[in-house]
Structure 1
Amino acid sequence: MQHVFQVYTREKLAWIAIVCWNLWNRRNKWLWDKVNVSAFGVQSTAVSMKTEWDKAQHEKKVVKPAVSATGRRWIRLPQGWVKINVDAVTFTANGSIGLGSVIRNEDGTFVGARSKKMEVLLHPREAEAVSLNEALSWTKELGFKQCIFETDAKLVVDAINKAQGCAFFIL
């Protein structure tokens, strides 16, 4: 791989990465969902992705906004704090869920990541709640005391904050 990175141009490396990703994605679709993607489908998706990537690279050079389109930007955490991003996915075809967490320190430096597959079929909100619970246990094991947890699961956040709806989940 080192030879490939030294010899090929950035353009050629982008093609290699996109084709490899599409082949890996095809394999996963077959393995997890028993969906067969044709070689033409892999090629077609790769061409579309490369076109989008080229467009994004051009736009990146032209426009550099100070903050993102949503108005959000990274804010340094207080000294000694960590931020844990949590997410989950459900695989209804094989009755399982995937959980993941990433920890970064106050500088945004990667501290650790963890993932787990569980052979249980849950609704997405329950999977998100289980993922948060696993992240809480993990940070406790690691001895972190000052933590900020971030998730995209609004229903879970609302339930924790008792903003609306039920504050319990049936597992």
Structure 2
Amino acid sequence: MALSYLTNWKFANEKVMGRMEEGVEMLKWKPPCLGRVKLNAYAAFDEGNNVMGLGWVLRDDDGRFLAAKRMCVLGKYEVKEAKAVCVREALSWMKGTSIGDVDAETDLQLVYYALCSDSFNSVFGFIIDDVKDVASMIDGVDFYFVKRSTNRASHTVAREVVSMSSCGQWFDDPPLYLVDCFLSDLTN
């Protein structure tokens, strides 16, 4: 099990690092404005095992780690639905923390545009309505679209679920596998 975990972890990180080496412009994560927190959410897929990994990371306006969570969801979703469900789950989890003034970022433009538009009738539309309902219960939630390269930490958390098939959450101190992501995000 440990060997499988290590292999999957290396594979996920080599893909991210390989893109950086190919000369693709990698944008960096940026902290939110003073007094706000930033929530990055990501959904990863393991189609062979019919599993999705949802992961999110919460950081303050200095870029300090506040919390992270990963969870496993059985089933296959379309990418847009999975990303929207991940944002909904992250906001539902935040509801219990009494943290407000949140910049919630997604790296799928379609989800961002749906969150900023009127309701529409479809499965995806109903999920988006759920996200909006949960967001309305938290003070000061704003949605943003970001490039995937700025969402690296939440991507790593979500990939961990797929490789480990387990849930977990952390407060104040990040899991060791995220430390390099945070250091990279905070250096120029």
Instruction: Name the TM tier (shorter chain).
Output: 0.5 to 0.7
Deviation at 1:23, TM superposition (A): 8.0
Q: Quick check: 1:25 aligned with 2:10? A: no
Q: Distance in 1 between matches of 2:76 and 2:9?
A: 22
**Is the Cα contact below 8 Å between 1:98 and 1:118 reproduced in 2?**
yes
Q: Secondary structure at the match of 1:114?
A: strand
Higher relative contact order (CA 8 A, sep 6+): 2
**2:102 paired residue among 123, 144, 147:** 147
**1:74 paired residue among 19, 30, 38:** 30
Q: Name 1:118's counterpart in structure 2.
A: 73
Structure 1 residue ranges (4+ consecutive) displaced by more than 6 angstroms after TM superposition = 20-23, 70-73
Q: Aligned partner of 1:74: which letter? A: K
Deviation at 1:124, TM superposition (A): 1.2
Once the two structures are superposed, the pairs formed by residues 9-158 of structure 1 within 5 Å of their partners are 24-25=6-7, 69=25, 74-79=30-35, 81-158=36-113
**Is the Cα contact below 8 Å between 2:31 and 2:61 reproduced in 1?**
no
Q: Quick check: 1:162 aligned with 2:109? A: no
Q: How many residues align?
A: 120
Q: Distance in 2 between matches of 1:88 and 1:114?
A: 12
Q: Which deviations, in whole Å up to 9, do the C-alpha atoms of 1:4-46 show, x marking residues without a partner?
A: xxxxxxxxxxxxxxxx9998226998xxxxxxxxxxxxxxxx9
Q: Secondary structure at the match of 1:162?
A: coil
**Is the Cα contact below 8 Å between 1:90 and 1:123 reproduced in 2?**
no
**TM-score (structure 2 length as normaliser):** 0.51
How big is the alpha-carbon RMSD for the aligned residues of Structure 1 and Structure 2? Answer: 4.1
Q: Distance in 2 between matches of 1:85 and 1:148?
A: 8
Q: Distance in 2 between matches of 1:130 and 1:148?
A: 17
Q: Where does the alignment leave 5 or more consecutive residues of structure 1 unmatched?
A: 1-19, 30-45, 47-51, 57-68
**Is the Cα contact below 8 Å between 2:39 and 2:104 reproduced in 1?**
yes
Between the aligned residues of both structures, percent identity stands at 27
**TM-score (structure 1 length as normaliser):** 0.55
**Is the Cα contact below 8 Å between 1:77 and 1:107 reproduced in 2?**
no
Q: Where does the alignment leave 5 or more consecutive residues of structure 2 unmatched?
A: 128-188
Q: Aligned partner of 1:133: which letter? A: R
Greater C-alpha Rg: 1
